[in-house]
Amino acid sequence: MTIYDISKMAGVSIATVSRVLNGNNNVKPETKKKVLDVMEQCGYTPNAFARGLGLNTMKTIGILCTDSSDLYLAKAIYFIEQNLRAGGYHSILCCTGYDLSNKKSALSLLLTQKVDGVIMVGSNFIEPDDADNQYIREAAAQIPVTLLNADFDYPNVFCTLCDDFKAVQEAALGLIDSGIHDILYLYNSRSYSGMKKLSGYQSACLLRDLPLKKEYQQYYPGGHEDVDGICRFLCDLSSEGLTFHAVLASEDILAIAATKYAKLHNLKIPDDLSIIGYNNSILVSCCEPELTSVDNRLEDICQQLVKTLIDTLNGIQMPQKTIFSARLIRRGTTTF
């Protein structure tokens, strides 16, 4: 028996059940009685460690991350932990890797630690086969689950994300409208976010009546820190006869490798080769000229994600999805 079952039987939202369990006064007396009656009939007793009738919480949030060495994910964890501390919560971090069985095991471990809620950092926690996402649904039946930069529609799951599709679409349109039509889109992830970015590039091409050529949509399968490997990948494409006057990258690290490729081939940036990265990370100042990059407003997103989770735990009804618009920060690697 979980609070999800109680909400269904009482005909109220999970947020309402949570408010009753937390002793929140913002519940109509008749609604509170309905929830308490269902709990009594079913013999439901809140766990002594969890939110309950007048009981203390553990004031601890579980954080799941696939790879804490990734610049984007590491920065997200930093912002999330800062905001949790400011809200009076501790955190437990589990780095899972990308294997589904490890993700499930880590989530089960956090649930046994009686955390008040879970934050999944990054869209790699959403599996392509929806049946594989059952572990998220099962967790959400017990505690609130929040997802950073992913979209998953289910009760007690809250998503805070950047509109990656529109961000890449606008960046690509900027390049196209500046007169560059042979744009190489370079990406290294097939996650939910990764596919949204790719779709944004494809949409921009279609909007300007440009053909969608597979050779201009290149997936790099190597490590995300292997700048030399990414550079060699671009060199191989060039030696095979692919001509491009712009690189639009799904991550800043890919764009930095493109600047190295340009230097090896004596290409002037941005006159011969325009380059745009994504994430507006610390890497933007690691090349000359400095890198034009999409600012996906990670700090704002993390702040909102934590606010949504804490407010939900306090019995406040929150939107299940919050979407932020990105900003293109123009620097020396583009002319527009």
Q: What tens digit of pLDDT does each residue of 167-191 get?
A: 999 999 999 999 999 999 999 999 9
Q: Which residues contact residue 93 at a Cβ distance below 8 angstroms, ignoring those fewer than 6 apart? A: 63, 65, 68, 77
What does the pLDDT read at residue 46?
A: 61
> What number is the average pLDDT over the span 247-262?
98
* Strands laid side by side in the 246-249 sheet: 217-219, 183-187, 246-249, 274-278, 292-295, 327-329
Tell me whether domains 3-42 and 164-296 share a fold.
no
Q: Which residues contact residue 55 at a Cβ distance below 8 angstroms, ignoring those fewer than 6 apart? A: 46, 48
Asked if 91 and 305 count as a contact pair (C-beta separation under 8 A), the reply is: no
Q: Which CATH number fits domain 164-296: 3.40.50.2300, 3.50.30.50, 3.40.50.300, 1.10.3720.10?
A: 3.40.50.2300
What does the pLDDT read at residue 224?
A: 86
Rounded to the nearest 5°, which phi and psi values hold at 324? -105, 145
Q: Which of 55-59, 118-122, 265-269 has the lowest mean pLDDT?
A: 55-59
The domain locations on the chain are: 3-42, 60-162+298-326, 164-296
Q: Which of the two residues, 50 and 196, has the higher pLDDT score? A: 196
Type of residue found at 119: I
> What number is the average pLDDT over the span 75-83?
98
The C-alpha atoms of residue 306 and residue 72 are separated, in whole angstroms, by: 17
The CA–CA distances, whole Å, from 34 to 5, 27, 41, 303 equal 14, 11, 11, 35
What does the pLDDT read at residue 239?
A: 97
Tokens found for residue 47: 């766990």
What is the torsion angle, in degrees rounded to the nearest 10, for the CA atoms of residue 68, residue 199, residue 188 and residue 176? -120
What does the pLDDT read at residue 48?
A: 40
% of the chain with per-residue pLDDT over 70: 96
What does CATH list as the number for 3-42?
A: 1.10.260.40
Mean pLDDT of all residues belonging to the chain: 93
Asked if 235 and 261 count as a contact pair (C-beta separation under 8 A), the reply is: yes
What does the pLDDT read at residue 15?
A: 81
For Cα atoms 135, 138, 143, give the angle at the middle one, nearest 5 degrees: 115
Q: Please, what's the b/e burial string for 171-206 (b: 16 or more CB within 10 A of its CB; e: otherwise)?
A: bbbbbbeeebeebbbbbbbebbbbbbbbebbbbbbe
What is the C-alpha end-to-end distance of the chain, expressed in Å? 58
Q: Which residues contact residue 14 at a Cβ distance below 8 angstroms, ignoring those fewer than 6 apart? A: 3, 4, 7, 155, 156
What does the pLDDT read at residue 45?
A: 63
What does CATH list as the number for 60-162+298-326?
A: 3.40.50.2300
What does the pLDDT read at residue 191?
A: 94
Residue 318 pLDDT grade (very low, low, confident, very high; cuts 50, 70, 90): very high
Tokens found for residue 182: 């042979």
Q: Which of 43-57, 70-84, 105-119, 282-296 has the lowest mean pLDDT?
A: 43-57
% of the chain with per-residue pLDDT over 90: 83
